[in-house]
């Protein structure tokens, strides 16, 4: 499971190269909120891994000022999001149907954590007893 803290730069460690068929791919990520059903797509920033044959490291910035072609995206609402990652040769395409490989090379879940405080209110209902008096 990947994690995103709202308003922060988040490091994602993935293993994408093992399933990649392109020599210099761009990775398109399609995400869908389980709560609101909102769907978004964005392109991951450059791989910053020192050992890309073993793992890939990407910075995903959570921000309301989205730059979808460089890994800056807003995850709203908080909670769980499903993701699929596709490989492509385009650095600007945001449509999975136009990717070089239309089969996702990785799928999973993202947990988006915010700073909002959730307050739960217990509602109690008065208890009424009926008894036999006679």
Residue 127 to residue 60: CA distance in whole angstroms: 52
Residues 12-33, mean pLDDT to the nearest whole number: 96
- Other CB atoms closer than 10 Å to residue 94's CB: what's the count? 16
pLDDT grade for 116, boundaries at 50, 70 and 90: low
Which strands form 2-5's sheet, in the order they lie side by side?
Answer: 2-5, 106-113, 79-88, 26-33, 39-43
Query: pLDDT tens digits for 12-21?
Result: 999 999 999 9
Decide the pairing of beta strands 106-113 and 2-5: parallel
Q: What is the pLDDT of residues 39-81, one digit of tens each?
A: 999 999 999 999 999 999 999 999 999 999 999 999 999 999 9
Is the pLDDT assigned to residue 117 strictly greater than 60? no
Please identify, in words, the CATH class of the domain defined by 2-113: mainly beta
Q: Where are the domains of the chain?
A: 2-113
Helix (H, G, I), strand (E, B) or coil at 50: coil
Q: Which two tokens stand for residue 126?
A: 């008065």
pLDDT band at residue 132 under the 50/70/90 scheme: confident
**In the block, which residue shows the tokens 């910075």?**
59
The whole-number pLDDT of residue 127 equals 75
Q: What percent of the chain has pLDDT over 70?
A: 92
**pTM for the full model?**
0.84
Which value, to the nearest 10 degrees, does the dihedral of the CA atoms of residues 105, 49, 33, 19 take? Answer: 0
């Amino acid at each position: 499971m990947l994690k995103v803290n709202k308003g922060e730069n988040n490091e994602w460690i993935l293993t994408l190269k093992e399933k990649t068929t392109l020599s210099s791919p761009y990775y398109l990520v399609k995400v869908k909120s389980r709560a609101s059903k909102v769907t978004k797509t964005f392109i991951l920033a450059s791989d910053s891994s020192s050992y890309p044959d073993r793992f890939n490291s990407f910075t995903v910035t959570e921000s309301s000022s989205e730059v979808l072609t460089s890994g800056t995206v807003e995850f709203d609402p908080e909670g769980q999001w499903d993701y699929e990652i596709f490989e492509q040769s385009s650095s600007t395409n945001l449509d999975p149907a136009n990717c070089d490989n239309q089969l996702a090379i990785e799928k999973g879940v993202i947990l988006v954590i915010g700073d909002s405080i959730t307050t739960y209110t217990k509602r109690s209902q008065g208890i009424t007893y009926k008894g036999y008096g006679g």
